[in-house]
Amino acid sequence: MARYLFKRLLQSIVTLWCVLTVIFLLVRLAGDPAQLMLPVDATRHDVVALNASLGLNHSLGVQYWDYLQSVVQGNFGESLYYKQSVLSLIAERLPATLTLAVVAIVIAIIVGSLMGIVSAIKKDTWIDRLSTSLVFLLQSFPAFFIGILLILIFAVKLHLVPTSGNATPVAILLPAFTLAAYPIAPIARTMRTSLIENMGEKFVLANQAMGFNDVDIVFNRVLKNAMLPVVTVIGLELGTMIGGAVVTETVFSWPGLGQLIIQAVQKRDFPLIQAGVIIISAFYIIINFGVDVLYLYLDPRVKKGGASR
Amino acid sequence: MKKLIGFAIAVVVIVLAVFGYVKHQEASSTKVANKPLVIARANDVVGLDPGFLTENAQVVDNIFDTLVTRDKNEKLQPGLATSWKQIKPTVWRFKLRKGVKFTNGEKFTAASVKFSLGRVLNPKNNAPTASYVSTISKVNVVNSHTVDVVTKQPDPLIPTRFNRYPTEIVPEKYVKKVGEKQFAKHPIGTGAYEFVSWKKGDSVTLKANAHYWDGTPAVKRVVFKAIPQTSTRIDALNNGEADIVTGVSPEERKSVKQSTTARLSTVKRGGNIVYVGLKTNVKPFDNVKVRQALNYAINKQQIVKYVLKDSAVATNSLSGPKDAGYTGELSGYAYDPAKAKALLKEAGYPNGFTATLDTVNWYADNTAVAQAIAAQLKKIGVNLKVKNIESSVYRASVPAGKQSAMYVLGWSSTNTLDADAAMYAVLHSGESYSTYSNTTVDQQLDEARTTSDLAKRKQLYASVEKTVIQDAPRIFLYQENTYYGVSKKIQWRGKIDASINVKDISYTK
């Protein structure tokens, strides 16, 4: 058990280092930030001077080594625009993104699981087909489309919620529903497949023979077993949501990490882009790690190292 | 199944209850008078120190004052300075307003002016907009309320420069006490509004300065809100959540016009003068006949009317009507494809040629405009390949001279409202954004830059424009309009210098 966790930790560190290296090189391929920081009518001399003061006139190797050293010491640098430590900038924005992601995933879990369960119980009936197509529909609409549609209906026509921002608690409803639309599909589908698979087990047949009805069997006997693959999917989707809230945050002016990073990319704010991507990757890794640990409890076979997942 | 239905009902009830609560909250909140005025813009601010802005000064200009301001007709008038005079060719003397205090109680004096300029001019500080004041060598304190601004060469634009960032006056003691970084997060000025809070990525809130030297403004509280998505911004306006929205695109004009609660404010020629730049040292554009032929082949009136739906004004002028030094509209090249063909033949290109046209989304409908240009040039045998370049790439490649030989660019007097800013950087040889070189034009632009007599300057600019039209280093196109959405509850119209002075806004009675 301890050895397993240690191995996973080591893997995580190596992954993060790879992410760091790739993003470090990528942002530098994209061009230098000094030109973008200065007004359009700045002189060439200003650009050169600013680049030098940002330390971007050193060779790539020197810059990389410096960056690696400071990151190991927990220093991710200062934003070129905000003139503030990037970690504090990210810390300011992270709660908004996390709240949005958690509320969205809760919505997705409730709606997705219910749809999956209904589909499984009513397998191959019109209800199943309706539910499955609905899920597909939600998944195939891009977030900005659903977002704008929701704003038009619930904010502009019905005046139920504000169009944007996070000033009031209810303002989270539209962005959360928008963000939830995509993961509802994989959750529902996995739930349906997994339930149907489990419903074929012999103990279910025995239960049915004893006269229990299907709903009872699903909720009281099969659901826990069927949850295993669903937990994996939920974990993966949550990770994706933290990084993937960008479009939703933009549509609804949600002041989260996604918006911050998008602006950083547009302005070539190197330290901020680097730290933002590394932090999001770290979240993804932590969530995956959490899912693995959860497995140990849900599926005793993993603990024994017997079955692979 | 019963459980399921029960659960579904519970969810619906909860959602309805929440909505009901909101409705109730809204109803009660509208009763409270003095809701803050909300101004929705595309971006949140990144810093509030006017000396070190990397964005426009729309927000900070409400917190800080400049020595010189503009009246409703954009004429320069006294601000923190009560009068100014060029006492020597290289010295401008400003008399300062007495009894003005920063909102922390600190006194505004001549030393404040010296300090505010000094930190921007100090090369060690790398102020992003230092080039706007680079003609100034130093500021001398004459007495507590008089300063002399000393320039390296005679500079007629000094009063204009003191109307615009980075010359806002900041409190010396406070800045030195808290440091520049903290100052950018919590600014203090002498302006009509006082900083309240900044919710990063979301909004900046200001409140009226009760002791403002020019009277307390009507709007007591104002929120500058960031709404990046344009459609959401318009929805917020139509929904009554925003009172002013900036950056209304031409295609959204209709949606604002149809609104029952808001109206459209048009600033005619408030945007960039858009043109197709030609690299005059690259074949075939090194031949003036080719450049003239391209101008004869373009029907810009048609482009403005049918592609841009009149969101711009066709012009051959190199500066805008409100710019000091503007010399009126000039006739240039009338649409004449036959003449264009003849000129191409004379230049040695009877069958035309092939070229690439770079364009970028900084300008409304830029792709459609580029395609219209390509279609019109095809008629004289010039085959264009239109290349749409990503914004930040273009921003770096054009000043480095790495763009194609034909490139779309827009320029204007960027809030200084002076012909110098509109022309110098795009026409003077050796400037980053110029791909043109003419010694007469260079010399006249330099002279106009150091001449104080406006009539003389106008003559110089008129001469420059005449030469440039003849030389055709560009395909002359149009100047864009800018649009704002404004709630019917308030009185305000968009300004040509893109400023939003909240103190000038009043409520409709």
Residue A256: its chain B contacts at CB < 8 A? 201
Mutate to test the interface with A, among B2, B3, B15, B46 (most CBs of A within 10 A): B46
Mean pLDDT for chain A?
83
Q: How far apart are CA B318 and CA B237, in angstroms?
A: 35
A2 burial (CB, 10 Å; 0-12 / 13-18 / 19+) is exposed
Query: Is there a domain that residue B7 lies in?
Result: no
B47 within domain boundaries: no
- CB contacts, 8 Å: B43 with chain A: 263
B157: Cα within 13 Å, side-chain hemisphere: 26
Which residues 268-297 in chain A show a CB within 8 A of chain B?
Answer: 268
A39 vs B44, B126, B129: nearest CB: B129
For residue B113, the domain's CATH number is 3.90.76.10
pLDDT tens for residues B184-223? 999 999 999 999 999 988 899 999 999 999 999 999 999 9
Q: Which A residues, 147 through 186, put their C-beta within 8 Å of a C-beta on chain B? A: 148, 151-152, 155-156, 159-166, 168, 170, 173
pLDDT tens, A46-95?
A: 777 777 777 777 888 888 888 888 888 888 888 888 888 899 999 988 88
Per the structure, the complete domain to which residue B209 belongs is given by: 191-267+483-507
Residues of A in contact with B19 (CB under 8 A): 160-161, 170
**CB pair distance less than 8 Å for A114 and B7:** yes
Cβ atoms of residues B91 and B149 within 8 Å: yes
On whether both B162 and B298 belong to a single domain, the answer is no
Q: Are residues B228 and B168 in the same domain?
A: no
Q: Which of B155, B177, B199 is the last residue of a domain?
A: B177
Which of B153, B177, B201 terminates a domain? The answer is B177
How many angstroms separate the CA of residue B389 from the nearest CA in chain A? 13
Q: Is residue B489 part of a domain?
A: yes
The answer to whether B228 contacts A267, with C-beta atoms less than 8 Å apart, is: no
Residue of B nearest to A213 (CA): B1
**Contact between chains at B4 and A117 (C-beta distance less than 8 A):** yes
CB contacts, 8 Å: B203 with chain A: 165
The CA distances from residue A77 to A55, A129, A282, B110, B397, in Å, are 12, 53, 18, 38, 27
- Write down the pTM of the prediction: 0.84
Residues 85-104 of B with CB under 8 A from A: none
Interface test with A, best of B395, B415, B426 (most A CBs within 10 A): B395
Domains detected in chain A: 2-72 (no CATH), 86-303 (1.10.3720.10)
A50 touches chain B (CB under 8 A): yes
pLDDT reported for residue B370? 95
A84 touches chain B (CB under 8 A): yes
Which is more confidently placed, B242 or A246?
A: B242
Interface test with A, best of B2, B180, B202 (most A CBs within 10 A): B202
Retrieve residue B53's tokens: 């802005």
Structure letter (DSSP) for residue B418: B
For residues B127 and B77, state if they share a domain: yes
pLDDT at A37 over 50: yes
Classify residue B230: in a domain, yes or no: yes
Q: Is residue B32 a part of any domain in this protein?
A: no
- Residues B291/B473, Cβ–Cβ less than 8 Å: yes
pLDDT at residue number A302:
64
Interface of B with A in 140-199 (CB under 8 A): 180-181, 184-185, 199
What residues of A are in contact with residue B392 (Cβ under 8 Å)? 30-31, 36, 266-268
Q: Which residue has the higher pLDDT, A244 or A79?
A: A79
What are the tokens at A132? 């499955």
- Which of B:391-430 have CB within 8 Å of A? 391-393, 395-396, 399-400, 414, 421, 425
pLDDT of A14 over the 60 cut: yes
- Which of B177, B202, B237 delimits the end of a domain? B177
Q: Integer distance in angstroms from the first to the last C-alpha of chain A?
A: 16
Structure tokens at B377: 């040039």
Same domain, B343 and B460: yes
Among A253, A259, A266, A269, most B C-beta atoms within 10 A, so best to mutate, is A253
Cβ–Cβ contact A302 with B under 8 A: no
> What is the three-state SS of B93-114?
EEEECCCCECCCCCECCHHHHH
State whether residue A215 sits within 8 Å of chain B by CB.
Answer: yes
Q: Does A223 touch chain B (CB under 8 A)?
A: no
Are B426 and B359 contained in the same domain?
Answer: yes
ipTM surpasses 0.85: no
Domain co-membership, B476 together with B487: no
**Which one of B229, B236, B433 has the shortest CB-CB distance to A251?**
B229
CB A184 within 8 A of CB A111: yes
For A190-241, write each residue's pLDDT tens digit.
988 888 888 777 777 787 778 777 777 777 777 777 888 888 888 888 877 8
Beta-carbon separation of A155 and B235 below 8 A: yes
What residues in A contact B123, CB-CB < 8 Å?
49
Q: Are B47 and A92 a contacting pair at CB < 8 A?
A: no
The contacts of residue B237 (CB under 8 Å, 6+ apart) are: B40, B243, B244, B245, B256, B259, B261, B262, B485, B487
Q: Per the domain annotation, does B40 fall within a domain? A: no
State the total domains in chain B. Answer: 3
Q: Is there a single domain that holds both residue B170 and residue B87?
A: yes
* pLDDT in the model for residue A309: 40
- Tell me the C-alpha distance between A42 and B422, whole Å: 14
* Residue in A26, A28, A29, A40 to test binding to B, most B beta-carbons within 10 Å: A40
Q: Which residues of chain B have pLDDT under 70?
A: 1-34
Collect all residues of chain A within an 8 Å Cβ-Cβ radius of residue B199: 255
Structure tokens at B89: 């060719």
| Domain-located, residue B5 | no
Q: Are the beta carbons of A37 and B54 separated by less than 8 Å? A: yes
Task: Say whether residue A225 is in contact with chain B using an 8 A CB cutoff.
Answer: no
pLDDT of residue B8: 56
Q: Nearest C-alpha of chain B: how many angstroms from A44?
A: 7
Same domain? For B197 and B302 the reply is no
pLDDT in tens, A282-306: 888 888 888 877 777 777 666 655 4
Q: If contacts are CB pairs under 8 Å, which of residues 97-156 in chain A contact chain B?
A: 110, 114, 117-118, 121, 144, 148, 151-152, 155-156
**Edge-to-edge strands, sheet with B273-278:** B312-314, B474-480, B273-278, B406-411, B354-360, B383-389
User: Which residues face B101 on adjacent strands?
Assistant: B107
Report yes or no on B115 lying in a domain.
Answer: yes
* HEC sequence for B122-185: CHHHCCCCHHHHCCEEEEEEEECCEEEEEECCCCCCHHHHCCCCCCCCCCHHHHHHHCHHHHHH
Q: What is the CATH number of the domain that holds B288?
A: 3.10.105.10
Choose the weakest-confidence range: A6-20, A50-64, A93-107, A171-185.
A50-64
Paired sense of beta strands B474-480 and B273-278, if any: antiparallel
Shortest CB distance from B227 goes to which of A93, A144, A253? A253
Q: A164 and B46 in contact by Cβ < 8 A? A: no
pLDDT at B288: 94
Reported residue count of chain A is 309
Using an 8 Å CB-CB cutoff, list chain A residues near B425. Answer: 41
Q: What is the pLDDT of residue A238?
A: 83
What is the domain-level CATH number for residue B222?
Answer: 3.40.190.10
Same domain assignment for residues B236 and B108 = no
Residue B432 and residue B335 share a domain? yes
B422: chain A residues, CB-CB within 8 Å: none
Q: Is A3 on the interface with B (CB under 8 A)?
A: no
Please give the interface size between A and B, counted as residue pairs whose CB atoms are below 8 Å apart.
150
Q: Provide, as residue numbers in chain A, all residues whose Cβ is less than 8 Å from the Cβ of B8.
A: 114
Cα distance between residue B492 and residue B486, in whole Å: 7
Search chain A and give the residue with CA nearest B181. A83
Query: What is the Cα–Cα distance from A53 to B123, expressed in whole angstroms?
Result: 11
Paired with B474 in beta bridges are B277
Cis before residue B321, ω within 30 degrees of 0?
A: no
pLDDT of residue A1: 67
Indicate whether B352 and B304 sit together in one domain. Answer: yes
pLDDT at residue A203, rounded to an integer:
79
Say what the pLDDT of residue B303 is. Answer: 95
B398 neighbors B409 (Cβ within 8 angstroms): yes
Pair (B328, B423) in one structural domain: yes
- The phi and psi torsions of A290 (rounded to 5 degrees) equal -60, -40
Is residue A27 less than 8 Å (CB to CB) from chain B? no
